[in-house]
Amino acid sequence: MGAESKRTIIVTGVTKGLGRALADRFAERGHTVVGCGRTAAAIDQLLSQFDETHHFSVVDVGSDESVQGWAEQVLAEYGAPDLLINNAAVINENAPLWEISAEEFNRLTAININGVANVIRRFAPAMIERGSGVIINLSSGWGRATSADVAPYCASKWAIEGLTLALAQELPAGMAAVPLNPGIVNTDMLQSCFGQSANHYSDAEQWSAAAADFILNITAEDNGRQLTAPS
């Protein structure tokens, strides 16, 4: 399916950062964006800015029950998505692993790992039944390398790489699962770990100009490939 085809695209973590920028780019290209985020005020803002073609909901992807209710509503209204982008993620405050509380670690993995599995669990069966669709799980440079003081985040993104590559082996022909490293982008998340140095990198709006088209051109032929978005 080429980039020119109009598609239904699900984006988690749509209220800010990469998810928000991608929502703008996809909508500009005529695609239908179905997104979720945890902040009600931010979701309300999206609902006021986008026309009724699109759909935004308050969802905690770390809760399978929350994802299930959202998925049932979305599938009933839009059917199986053509493109499913698991973008929602958080990062720990910079600290050595032994200084990070169990609560913070568990919350991070609930969103970054369990959240991806929850969304796939609730949407992939409909995509499989139709026999087509692309699942993109946002990874990170820290899903293929490591750094001090972000061990929980590294662990979660290495998990996403493995989870996605295994999923790629399970999907039927005509579908794809891809781990996508977005590269280094100046977002709130990068600011939290890079500080002022984050300002040396492109912001999400600049990044999304090329990244959106790159994502739209991922096809079943890319199944199982570890991809990196253009900088």
Give me the mean pLDDT over the 31-55 stretch.
97
User: Mind listing the pLDDT tens digit for each residue in 97-109?
Assistant: 999 999 999 999 9
Alpha-carbon distance 3 to 137, whole Å? 19
Per-residue pLDDT at 92: 95
Per-residue pLDDT at 203: 72
User: Mind listing the pLDDT tens digit for each residue in 101-157?
Assistant: 999 999 999 999 999 999 999 999 999 999 999 999 999 999 999 999 999 999 999
Per-residue pLDDT at 200: 58
Per-residue pLDDT at 194: 61
Strand order in the sheet with 55-58: 55-58, 32-37, 8-12, 83-86, 133-138, 175-181, 227-228
Q: Which of 70, 153, 158, 207 is catalytic?
A: 153
Per-residue pLDDT at 195: 65
From the list 203, 207, 149, the residue with the least C-alpha distance to 180 is 207
Per-residue pLDDT at 184: 72
Question: Which letter, b or e, does each residue of 100-128 get, where b requires 16 or more Cβ atoms within 10 Å of its Cβ?
Answer: beeeebeebbbbbbbbbbbbbebbbebbb
Give me the mean pLDDT over the 64-86 stretch.
98
Q: What's the angle, vertex CA 178, arms to CA 3 and CA 40, rounded to 5?
A: 80
| Residue tagged 């006021």 (tokens) | 48
Cβ–Cβ under 8 Å, residues 63 and 38:
no
Q: Is 78 assigned a catalytic role? A: no
Q: Which domains does the chain have, with CATH numbers?
A: 8-216 (3.40.50.720)
Count of all residues that appear for the chain in the document? 231
186 pLDDT higher than 60: no
Alpha-carbon distance 185 to 207, whole Å? 7
Beta bridge partners of 8: 32
Alpha-carbon distance 93 to 136, whole Å? 26
Token pair, residue 85, equals 């982008």
Q: Over the chain, what is the mean pLDDT? A: 93
